[in-house]
Structure formats: C-alpha cells, structure tokens
Structure 1
Amino acid sequence: MKRPEDIAEQFQEAWNSHEMTALAALFCADASFVNRFGHYVRGVQEIVALHAPIHETIYSDSTMQNEVISTIALGDDAAVLHCWSRLNIGKAHPAGPHSVDTVILAVLRLLPNGWRIQALENVTLTNPRTGQPVLRT
C-alpha cells in the first residue's frame, strides 16, 4: 500500500475475500481495533480472532464497499483516514439480508513494507432519537 488511501480498498478486498491472512496483513502488529458494537481488541492476532468466527458464519456471504472521505497527513509517516463503509449482509445472517452503513476512522503508519493500520474504529450510523440504523443515500 503506497498511499494511505489504499487502505480503504485493501480493507474492502480483505473483507470480501473473507481471507484472514489478507486482513492481518493490513495491520501493525500492535494495532488496536474497535468494531461497530464498541468491542475493543489490541494486537493483530486478536483482531483476526475477532473477525474469523463471523466470517465463517453470519458474515460469510457479506460484502463491503468503502469510499474515502478524507486523509489527513500527520507527517511523512503517519496519517488519519476517514471513509464511508457499507456492509451488505447476506442470507447467512440470522436477520437475513440487509445493509449497514458505518464511518471508519483509521490511524495509519508508514512502515518499510508500506502503509499499515495502527488503530481503527468503526461507528454505525444511527438515528440519535431512535437508535435505528441509518443508510446513507
């Protein structure tokens, strides 16, 4: 990943392939991750352990689409990336097919092997009055 923005597409591709080796390759060894439910884990092995079971079950037929909102350089070797993310969930989910929109915030570091995620947080878009999920138009 030669540019910070490449992370959005690479995360999407790793998710859509349901390949945990590809997902792990996106993160720094000591990265942190907060999923859309507020579950916090630290370390690439823990990030994979959080994702592997759901990719084998309820999200096994899901796909993700990411769209970069902005990138903010914090120097030559660090950046903040925001992107819209739409998770299209399939029949494998107990609630059946549906979509969820989130905003991803990622802190990125430039390592010798390219840009990697140091921290990522994913926030579900919801109506603040009802708590109901909201899809972007």
Structure 2
Amino acid sequence: MSMTSKPEYVATAFTNAWNRHDMDEFASLFASDANFVNVVGVWWKNRSEIEAAHRATHQTMFRDSRLEGDVSSVVELAPGLASVHYRWTLTGASAPDGSPAGVRNGILLLIAQEGQSGWHIKVAQNTDIVPGAIAPAGAKS
C-alpha cells in the first residue's frame, strides 16, 4: 500500500509543501470546493481562496517558517472519508511588525476524501494551543 493511499498522507504532504513554501503543491492537496478555517477564525471556502491566503502569508509572515508535527489520530468516518488530527509546532514565523513570532503549537483537523487521484482535503480546521489554557477535568491535551 503506497503512502498516498492512506488518509494521513494529506497531513504529511501539507507539512512538506509548507516547509518548501510551495503553494502550488499546497493548493493541490485541497478539493476544489474545500473549506478551511484558520487559527483566528478566517474561513476560506474554496481551493482558490485557500491558495491565495497561504501564498500571501508565505511571502511575508511564514516566509522563513518551519512546520513539524505528528499525525495523532486517524478515524474512518465512512468508506473513503476520514478525519486526521495533526499536532504541529511552528517555528520561524514573524509577527506583523516583522519581529520573531516565537514557537507556536496547535492541532490541525483535516477531513480527507479519497478520489481517483488519491486523498484530498475537503475540510480543514486549525487551532492554536493556547499556553496556560486550563482544560476541563479529565480532558487530555
């Protein structure tokens, strides 16, 4: 079984395209009608919007960034449809004033759909892990 035949491929490919700052490859990971909500709640509603936003930020605040992480969960939702949780760490990003933004951590949820050409991201929801946030009793972070 090739890596592209598994839903977690999209998280690995997302990271690889991000780290090469290759927004053509990045955009190709998404279905044409994909939805993506970023860490501050901006909602892009198709591949073109997702690509344009990421292309702009990879020319500025994410130009020198590096994304690393691990797939922490893959859940089959239906045949050919899966959720993928990816815990990430981002380094090298800049703040709006150009100063170093510091290290960020988060969780990316991808809903991946299998098609004839492999898995594509249909829905993405990104969440920053807020340092010092208090989780409810019994919750695992």
User: What TM-score do the two structures reach when normalised by structure 2?
Assistant: 0.86
Provide the rounded CA distance (Å) in 1 between the counterparts of 2:69 and 2:115: 23
Q: CA deviation at 1:128?
A: 3.0
User: Among residues 119, 126, 133, which one is paired with 1:128 in the alignment?
Assistant: 133
Secondary structure of 1:107's match? strand
User: Among residues 9, 12, 24, which one is paired with 1:9 in the alignment?
Assistant: 12
Q: Which amino acid aligns with 1:115?
A: W
User: Among residues 103, 123, 132, which one is paired with 1:119 in the alignment?
Assistant: 123
Secondary structure of 1:98's match? coil
- Classify 1:102/1:78 alpha carbon distance in 2 versus 1 (closer, same or farther; 3 Å): same
- In structure 2, the partner of 1:65 is 68
Provide the rounded CA distance (Å) in 2 between the counterparts of 1:122 and 1:69: 14
- In structure 2, the partner of 1:84 is 87
Q: CA deviation at 1:89?
A: 2.0
Aligned residues: 129
User: What TM-score do the two structures reach when normalised by structure 1?
Assistant: 0.88
Provide the rounded CA distance (Å) in 1 between the counterparts of 2:101 and 2:31: 33
Q: Which amino acid aligns with 1:104?
A: L
Name stretches of at least 5 consecutive residues in structure 2 with no aligned partner.
135-140
1:75-99 residue CA offsets vs partner (Å, 9 max, x unmatched) = 2210011110111124x54231511
User: Among residues 21, 25, 28, which one is paired with 1:22 in the alignment?
Assistant: 25
Q: Which runs of structure 1 show a deviation greater than 6 angstroms over 4 or more consecutive aligned residues?
A: none
Provide the rounded CA distance (Å) in 2 between the counterparts of 1:108 and 1:89: 28
Q: CA deviation at 1:27?
A: 0.4
Contact 1:8–1:66 (8 Å) recurs in 2: no
Q: Which amino acid aligns with 1:84?
A: R
Provide the rounded CA distance (Å) in 2 between the counterparts of 1:21 and 1:78: 24
Q: CA deviation at 1:119?
A: 0.3
